[in-house]
Structures are given as structure tokens and as C-alpha cells.
Amino acid sequence: MTAPRNLSRRTALTTIGALAAVPALGTGAVGACSASASSEGAQRYVGVVDRIVDGRHVVVLLEDGNRVVDQLVVDVDEFDEIAPRDILLVILEDGELARYRHLPEKPASTGRA
């Protein structure tokens, strides 16, 4: 996992844009891996499920702007429903998945379709 870093203006705007799309999804699309995630030290990414390995591990590619910056491997049991190519808003705390939310499509600011 990468070391914690300050968010750039572009990252902050991307996150805000992604968060703005989330309320339209309703509560059925929310997955919570912890009771609450504080905003201090939290890192937000748009994530794309790359693959599910052996039906046990989910590999999520984390994007910053329009480039992949890291990957996260999470036990499949951490998700309510998950499939390859799912698009997620991912919140990490201390390099671990704290919360996620399914997105219907990638935010336009990522530069990808």
C-alpha cells in the first residue's frame, strides 16, 4: 500500500464529483465494512473490480484521476454483491477497506468510459 499523502486539488474534485453521484443510488447500493469511517486519514478512490480470484479474493484497481495508482485485494465476504467490472467509490483507512458504494458508471472526471 502507498504511504498516506495529501490530496491534490484534482483528487479532491474527483472525489467530490463521485460523492455527488452517490445519493442518487439509494441505500440499497451501500456496503459498510465498518460502523463509521472518519474523514481524517481516509483516502477515497474510484475503484474498478478487476477480477475475483478463486471465488475468494476481489482485486480492485484504485484510480486517481484517469490513472491506476494502486490495487486492493479484499476477501469476497467483505462485499454484499460484487462482480468483475463493478465500479465502486472506495474509502480506505490505514490502507484497509473501510466503506464502499457501487456506482452506476465511472464519474466523467476520471476521463474513462
The span from the CA of 49 to the CA of 57, in Å, is 11
32 pLDDT higher than 80: no
80 pLDDT higher than 90: yes
The span from the CA of 18 to the CA of 14, in Å, is 6
User: Which is more confidently placed, 27 or 8?
Assistant: 8
Considering only 11-15, 49-53, 104-108, which range has the smallest mean pLDDT?
11-15
26 pLDDT higher than 80: no
Q: How far is CA 31 from CA 17, 25, 59, 99, in A?
A: 19, 12, 16, 6
What is the pLDDT at residue 39?
A: 59
The residues near 16 (Cβ < 8 Å, ≥ 6 apart) are none
What is the pLDDT at residue 110?
A: 47
What is the pLDDT at residue 58?
A: 97
What is the pLDDT at residue 77?
A: 96
74 pLDDT higher than 70: yes
Measured in whole angstroms, the distance separating CA 23 from the mean position of its chain's CA atoms is 15
Instruction: Determine what percent of the chain is predicted with pLDDT higher than 90.
Output: 52
pLDDT averaged over the chain? 74
